[in-house]
């Protein structure tokens, strides 16, 4: 059984291609759809639980708890809306490049991130 020879020749960074110049592909539209759906479902689930607790008929809630549930519902709606809006715009900007021995992922709306995984 022959083993291929292993080399460890030096590489010069000037000879390597710039990652920004490599051809890249957008991720599947299904990822974006799934990400937005998960965001909406989780937000609605938390909001529904808060509504059930607030309007349940079995016992009366203290006034402070009623106020806290209202604040928690508003925060849940606000955060859910913000996360949905962020993913609505940011997921369009996720691209990847496949190379022989690694994959490079480009993502980010506000802060750009480049991830190279062998």
Q: What is the Cα–Cα distance from 28 to 88, expressed in whole angstroms?
A: 14
Could you tell me the pLDDT band of residue 9, with boundaries at 50, 70 and 90?
A: confident
Other beta carbons less than 10 A from residue 116's beta carbon:
11
pTM score of the predicted model:
0.76
pLDDT at residue 16, as a whole number: 78
pLDDT at residue 33, as a whole number: 95
Q: Which tens digit of pLDDT belongs to each residue from 20-79?
A: 778 889 999 999 999 999 999 999 999 999 999 888 888 888 888 888 998 999 999 999
């Amino acid at each position: 059984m022959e083993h291929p020879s292993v080399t460890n020749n030096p590489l010069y960074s000037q000879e390597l291609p710039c990652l920004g110049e490599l051809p890249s592909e957008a991720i599947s539209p299904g990822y974006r759809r799934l990400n937005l759906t998960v965001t909406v479902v989780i937000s609605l689930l938390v909001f529904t639980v808060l509504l059930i607790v607030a309007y349940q008929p079995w016992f009366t809630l203290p006034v402070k708890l009623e106020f806290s549930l209202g604040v928690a519902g508003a925060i849940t709606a606000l955060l859910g809306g913000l996360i949905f809006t962020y993913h609505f715009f940011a997921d369009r900007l996720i691209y990847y490049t496949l190379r022989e021995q690694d994959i490079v992922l480009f993502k980010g709306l506000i802060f750009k991130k480049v991830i190279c995984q062998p």
